Amino acid sequence: MGRFGALNFYKDLLVFQDMKTIYTFLILFLGVSLNAQDIEQVSVSPAYGQQAYYTLSTGEVQVVDNDAWDLAFSNDGLQDAGVFINESAPLEGAGLQVHLAPTANFDDIITDTDQFTEETQMHNPEIDWTNGVFNSTRSLMDPFDYGWGRYSPMLNTVVGNQVYVIRLRDESWIKFMIEKLEITDYHIKWADLDGANEQTAIISKSAEADVLMHFSFASSDVVDMPRDYDLIFQRYTTPAFFPQQSPDTLEYMVTGVLLGPGTRAVVARDVNPDDVNEADYSDQYTDQVNTIGYDWKEFDFTIGWIMDLERAQFVKTSDDRVYKIVFLDFEGASTGTTTLEKTDLGIVATDDLWKWGISIYPNPASDRYEIETPELQELQIEWYSTDGRLQSHNNILSNTAQTIPLDLTSGQYYLRVMDGEKSAILPVRIQR
């Protein structure tokens, strides 16, 4: 449950505004006195009717209705096969539910929906963007098991072996199956529980597509969604521990923040947000989707929403730029608005090159630099100005020393070196 205990279970049931005047005064005061920070607002609309996709570099907020999509299919690589359900629902609305069907034969008729209860409902784990609710039954000891299906080396295909029952937002029921992932194509089918109105669709992975491809049952097709965002503000389910109940762990709906694909974060707790040092947490960044989560606020039945003012979030975007986020206000279901303070810390050096055995010199450099690698490696080299703008890049395949010419003016730069999924940044000065 975290530091705020069981109060979070009720936090979406009531809305209080008694403290709004105080919060507004606090926000205006901070906005005047802290010129280095930006005060920004992100809203998921009254009664939490939308999802908001937030871009840190621009402050842009893109919103979609909760019912804009139903399923999401991972597009992160040839070996991923993640499938997610859209758990978001407005305060008094019904969300999608997923249950494992009592049969593995899609053609079987299912008549009893009373067997599908809160205890049988399945949920997205909210850990990464390659494993969703339909992967949650997979065996972690079996690399060929994807939950909804099993990989066949002979066919080079993940073959579906599970049937699911989904309750739609209008509280009608369908049965659903992911038939296969054949090379880059997800093949799915669904029908009424008695087999009527059967439909099929193919969702194709593509280099042009986003990390997640979103699908709607209403249109029977992939739908356009926001891209190039860092954080997602939305409602989702999460497990909570209630020691005096049975079962003592329940899934309940929260309003929180999830990391977008490629975003990493670390939470600094029990700190003064004004003087907390990012360097103290630089080795703790994680891409776990629910790192920021929902517990930066709590609900008090006397005064309403209370913010955790001894907490700061450091968020690192895909270009290794770091932002400090401090949540200042949450207005609850009345507006769905979160107010936050954003501080751009710039590109923060993460010199891990020595761990890889890579040497780059000299520093300062003039018209060229040398790079040495201990083995055959394919590296991407990028030069950024101090304001984060890409100035130059090289692709290098080398296992020996190489001399790389430079065409940059004198000044301070950041050199970013990428080796597959690894990335390191170091400050470099050019003197001509």
- State how far the Cα of 255 lies from the Cα of 335, in Å rounded to an integer: 13
Choice between 397 and 36, residue whose per-residue pLDDT is larger: 397
Q: Residue 311: what pLDDT?
A: 98
pLDDT digits (tens, 9 = 90+) for 77-87: 778 999 999 99
**3-state class (DSSP) for residue 365:** strand
| 114-126 burial: b if 16+ Cβ within 10 Å, else e | eebeeeeebbbbb
Q: Residue 366: what pLDDT?
A: 85
Q: In the chain, what percentage of residues exceed pLDDT 70?
A: 86
Give the pLDDT band (50/70/90) at residue 310.
very high
Closest CA to 256 of 281, 229, 277, 238: 238
pLDDT digits (tens, 9 = 90+) for 335-350: 999 999 999 988 776 6
Choice between 15 and 215, residue whose per-residue pLDDT is larger: 215
Q: Residue 20: what pLDDT?
A: 39
pLDDT digits (tens, 9 = 90+) for 198-213: 999 999 998 888 999 9
Q: Per mean pLDDT, which of 200-209, 231-240, 326-335, 378-387 is the most reliable? A: 326-335
Give Cβ neighbours of residue 323 (< 8 Å, ≥ 6 apart).
Answer: 56, 314, 315, 317, 342, 343, 344, 345
pLDDT at 418 over 60: yes
Task: Give the mean pLDDT of 279-305.
Answer: 93
| 392-412 burial: b if 16+ Cβ within 10 Å, else e | eeeeeebeeeeeeebeeeeee
Q: Residue 23: what pLDDT?
A: 39
pLDDT digits (tens, 9 = 90+) for 14-46: 333 334 333 333 333 333 333 358 999 999 999
Q: Residue 312: what pLDDT?
A: 98
Q: Residue 10: what pLDDT?
A: 40
Give the pLDDT band (50/70/90) at residue 402.
confident
What DSSP element (H or E) covers 21?
helix 20-33
pLDDT at 96 over 80: yes
pLDDT at 241 over 80: no
Q: Residue 244: what pLDDT?
A: 59
- State how far the Cα of 339 lies from the Cα of 341, in Å rounded to an integer: 7
Q: Residue 197: what pLDDT?
A: 97
Global pTM?
0.80
Q: Which domains does the chain have, with CATH numbers?
A: 5-64+229-347 (no CATH), 70-223 (no CATH), 353-430 (2.60.40.3080)
Task: Give the mean pLDDT of 147-161.
Answer: 95
Give Cβ neighbours of residue 43 (< 8 Å, ≥ 6 apart).
Answer: 50, 52, 61, 63, 335, 336, 337, 338
Q: Where are the beta strands (DSSP E) in 140-272?
A: 149-152, 157-160, 164-167, 173-182, 185-192, 199-204, 212-216, 221-223, 231-241, 249-259, 264-269
pLDDT at 425 over 70: yes
- Looking at the DSSP bridge assignments, the partners of residue 339 are 41, 329
Q: Residue 416: what pLDDT?
A: 83
Q: Residue 373: what pLDDT?
A: 77
Closest CA to 181 of 214, 165, 159, 166: 159
Q: What is the mean pLDDT of the chain?
A: 86
